[in-house]
Amino acid sequence: MNYGKRNRIVFGLVLGLFAFSGQGLAQVSQEQFQTLIQKLDALEKRMERIEQEEAEAKRTTEYSSTAPIEDVAAQIESLDQAIRISDRKRELDQEGLTARTAAAPLTTAGTAGFSLQSANSDYRLNFGLVAQADGRFTVDKPNPIINTFTLRKIRPTFTGRVGRYFDYKVMPDFGGGTTIIQDAYFDLRFSPKFRIRMGKDKTPIGYELLIGDTFLLFPERSLASSLMPNRDIGVQAQGDLFANKLFYAGGVFNGIPDGTSLSSEVDTNDSKDLAGRLVLQPFRSAKNPSRRLNGLGFQIGGSSGRQSGTLPTFKTSVGQTFFSYTAGSIAGGDRRRVSPALFYYYKAFGAFAEYMRSTQSVSRPGIATDVRNQGWDISGSFLLTGEAAGERGVQPRFNFDPAAGRWGALQLVGRYTVLNVDRDVFSLGLASTTASRLTKSFTVGANWYPNSFIKIYGTYERTLFESQTSRPSENVILVRSQLAF
Amino acid sequence: MTSFKKITAVALLGLAFSASAFAQKQLLNVSYDPTRELYQDIGAAFAAAWKAKTGEAVSTKTSHGGSGSQARAVIDGLQADVVSLALAYDIDAIAERGIIARDWQSRLPNNSTPFTSTMVFLVRKGNPKKIKDWNDLVRPGISVIMPNPKTSGGARWNYLAAWGYALKQNGNDENKAKDFVRALYKNVPVLDSGARGSTTTFVQRGIGDVLIGWENEAFLAVNELGKDKFDIVVPSISILAEPPVAVVDKVAGRHGTAAVAKAYLEFLYTEQGQEIGAKRFYRPRLKSIADKYAAQFPQIKLFTVNEVFGGWQNAQKKHFSDGGMFDQIYQPGS
């Protein structure tokens, strides 16, 4: 309420009193007078309250209108700066976090396996495992083998890199009731075109033998691969040339008998084997991998050296020995191996064929001759579920998920393989009495890949022997469950 | 040797020579934070000059960051053919690892520092906080922007400039200098890792009342980011900053770029190189260019690291090493 309004109220009261007095005080009763006094008191209190409210409103108005604008602006500026500083600190923290994250070691666990890796990739440790549980059953009577389940391979695998240019692999094997070091080597990488590998690894000769153990079409390799050396210790150079169209590997090794791996970790003689292979894939194209001839390749491998001492024995897939030299026979002199191969992979189809020949000087008291053993095999596969075939296994299009009606990949496989021992071995009495001169094996089967880590093999294998003792054929069923990552 | 073999050998040799003749050399210059524009211009000019002189094509790539961080990167394997860092101590740190010859500083004129600079203040247009000298920076309520001396060479120059000012104001009283610098850092709300980051904080993020930084960076902010937004304030005294350069001998030797790397650094001392520097507001060493551009550089009383701190090794050890004076003065989050 303003002053004008209040004055009007007071003026009205005064006029009212005068009018009241004009009517005659004598006519006013005591009761009426008291009522008027009360009304005046009420009006007075009301005016006081109104005046207080007006004074309060005035103080507020005066404060609002006279507060320094500079102070308010400074407060706003201060608040704005505080917000900006907070935002910038958060921005810098984020930058720092990004930088720290980029520099932090990486730990991965997933479809690519398990690994630890420095931020710059110069240091890595990948952990892998190969576990194979087999079932071997004969359908022959009487049983030539004991039907059994067995742990074929238990191989924890450690691969990685140290110091940017050095790769390594260490792979022990606890399968078959023994513990041995299968692979133990490191690579010095100069470039993809040239690296030096030192240590224990597969000898670079045979095509099938150099396919990774977990990627094989069959639980065991062919008879012909018995003529190739397996793992040996040495130094080799490797590289990929011409846009990966040509791979080469070659080096010097201790030298081991056919079909064996070095188990003693030291050589038994001073002679060394030279071994190497060339793999040519002339139509290989990273840009257009689906071309019809992309997966066509040729390889030639071989070795040469002088070896003495132990001679090999040859066994079937279930470990039955079908050839051995007579007691007292030893290797003594030159040993040469050669193995050409042809392979082809296109869409779901894959096949390879290879020939192997191993020539070794063999002697026993009074007899010495060069023994030339030969073998070959042809293998084929077809993925019924349409995945791409290859040397590096199968990646199912759909992983096993029965609830979703998905079953993984299914592959049919077949193989025919022959191992032909030199006739002179028999004519000169260098073979044991139960030895087979010509051994042929036919294998068919199916492989199921529930996902890229699990593989179930199921095969039937029939092996025929030509021996002096009319050895009966061997008919076996091999089942393998394999975990590999 | 048969004729065929001779022809083949000559052909192969010819091929090898042709390949090397047509191969383009490339230099990597690992530099401190605010030199992007300078070395972009220098690289283009040097490539043209080198091509004209030798017929050989050369290109330069640059890498920028806090000077200390850049030195660490080179020590850790960054394949720099040359380094151009904010201060000699950082190149010394690389030389201590045997990657650069220990006598690097004597291989080029002026202790291998082709340009000089100094530290000045950049303030908001009109200088609303009326900042005129170092003592204004420690006033309560003044917000100062500068990078972290632990990672930035420019920040170390800032720190030493402030310390030198305080010493001279207080009769070389170290304790008073320490209190002064402590008060200064109390007014710093954000410590960036490099000089360019601080410029971003001040110019683009609009934080702070004053940026202490390289003179060339201040000119860049004014001329290229807004003449109507900033003013440069030249303090009464500052430090003579001498950012050095050096060939990274081991890397350049391995790359086969030692000769071109040396020529690249020598180019910085030529009239053309000095003028490019002056245009980017680096103070030229060459008198003819310095005279030509004298008007653009304000007169300022400068002291050197050697005069006040006894050289970079001493300054580094006393002020910036772990547990040193800066660590005593500045606590993150305080």
CB contact under 8 A, A84 and B197: no
Amino acid in position A72: V
A263: DSSP letter: -
DSSP A388-401: PP-TT----SS--B
CA distance to partner chain B, nearest, from residue A247 (Å): 24
The conformation of residue A243, written as its DSSP 8-state character, comes to T
Residues A185-200: what's their mean pLDDT? 95
Rounded to a whole number, what is the distance in Å from the CA of A321 to chain B's nearest CA?
55
The length of chain B is 334
Chain A residue with minimal CA distance to B197? A92
Which whole number is the average pLDDT over B157-173? 96
Please indicate if any CB of chain A lies within 8 Å of the CB of B147. Answer: no
Q: What is the pLDDT of residue A61?
A: 56
Task: With CB atoms and an 8 Å threshold, state whether A87 touches B143.
Answer: no
Mean pLDDT of chain A: 88
Distances (CA, A) of A28 to A35, A271, B47, B222, B315: 11, 151, 119, 92, 105
What pLDDT is stored for residue A58 in this prediction? Answer: 67
* A24 — pLDDT class (breaks 50, 70, 90): very low
At A8 the pLDDT is: 53
3-state secondary structure of A119: coil
Angstrom distance (rounded) from CA B242 to CA B231: 24
How far, in Å, CA of A352 to CA of A366, rounded? 42
Which pLDDT value is given to residue A312? 93
Q: State yes or no: pLDDT of A142 exceeds 50.
A: yes
Tell which B residues from 152 to 211 touch A, by Cβ distance under 8 Å.
Answer: 189-190, 192-193, 197, 201, 205-208
Q: How far is A198 from chain B (nearest CA, A)?
A: 27
**What is the side-by-side strand order in the sheet with B144-147?**
B191-192, B144-147, B210-214, B119-124, B230-233
Do the Cβ atoms of A20 and A13 come closer than 8 Å? no
For A462, how many CA atoms within 13 A lie in the half-sphere containing its CB? 3
Cβ distance A252 to A271 under 8 Å?
no
Of the candidate ranges A100-109, A126-135, B209-218, the one whose mean pLDDT is the lowest: A100-109
Q: Which tens digit of pLDDT belongs to each residue from A264-288? A: 777 878 889 999 999 999 999 888 8
Partner A contacted by B143 (CB < 8 A):
yes
pLDDT interval class at B18 (50, 70, 90): very low
For residues A20 and B201, the model is more confident at B201
Q: Over 80: is that where the pLDDT of A193 sits?
A: yes
Asked if B190 lies within 8 A of A85 by C-beta distance, the reply is: yes
* Mean pLDDT calculated for residue range A67-77: 78
The pLDDT > 90 percentage for chain B reads: 81
Of A55-69, A114-128, A302-316, minimum mean pLDDT range: A55-69
Residue window 206-245, chain B: list those with CB within 8 Å of chain A.
206-208
Instruction: Please state, as a whole number, how many other Cβ atoms lie within 10 Å of the Cβ of residue A289.
Output: 10
The string over A333-366, giving b where at least 16 C-beta atoms fall within 10 Å of a residue's C-beta and e elsewhere, is eebbbbbbbebbbbebebbbbbbbbbbbbbbbee
- Report the pLDDT value the prediction gives residue A321, as an integer from 0 to 100: 94
Strand partners, A197: A187, A236
Q: Which pLDDT does position A65 carry in this prediction?
A: 52
Under an 8 A CB cutoff, do A88 and B143 touch?
no
Interface contact B190-A88, CB threshold 8 A: yes
Q: Residue A52: CA atoms inside 13 Å, Cβ hemisphere, count?
A: 6
Token pair, residue A240, equals 């990929």
Would the pLDDT of A311 be above 70? yes
In the Cβ-directed half-sphere of B302, how many Cα atoms lie within 13 Å?
A: 20
Q: Which of A118-122, A447-451, A474-478, B96-100 has the lowest mean pLDDT?
A: A118-122
Compute the average pLDDT of residues A128-151.
Answer: 92
Residues A81, B192: C-beta atoms closer than 8 Å: no
Residue A81: which of B143, B192, B193 has the nearest Cβ? B143
Q: Inter-chain contact B143–A92, Cβ cutoff 8 Å?
A: no
Across residues A2-12, what is the average pLDDT?
Answer: 50
Q: Would the pLDDT of A355 be above 50?
A: yes
Question: Can you give the three-state secondary structure of A419-434, one letter per residue?
Answer: EECCHHHHHCCCECCC
Listed in sequence order, the residues at least 6 apart from B153 whose beta carbon sits closer than 8 Å to its beta carbon are: B32, B66, B67, B68, B85, B86, B87, B90, B195, B243
Between A411-415, B74-78, B119-123, B232-236, the lowest mean confidence (pLDDT) is in: B74-78
- What's the pLDDT score for residue A70? 75
- Of the ranges A63-67, A115-119, A312-316, B309-313, which one carries the lowest mean pLDDT score? A63-67
Whether residue A85 lies within 8 A of chain B, CB to CB, comes out as: yes
* Per-residue pLDDT band at B309 (split at 50, 70, 90): very high
d(CA A105, CA A118): 4
CA of B65 to nearest chain A CA: how many angstroms apart?
Answer: 13
pLDDT given for residue A476 in this prediction: 97
Closest chain A residue to B194 measured between Cα atoms?
Answer: A92
- Find chain B residues with C-beta within 8 A of A87's C-beta: 205
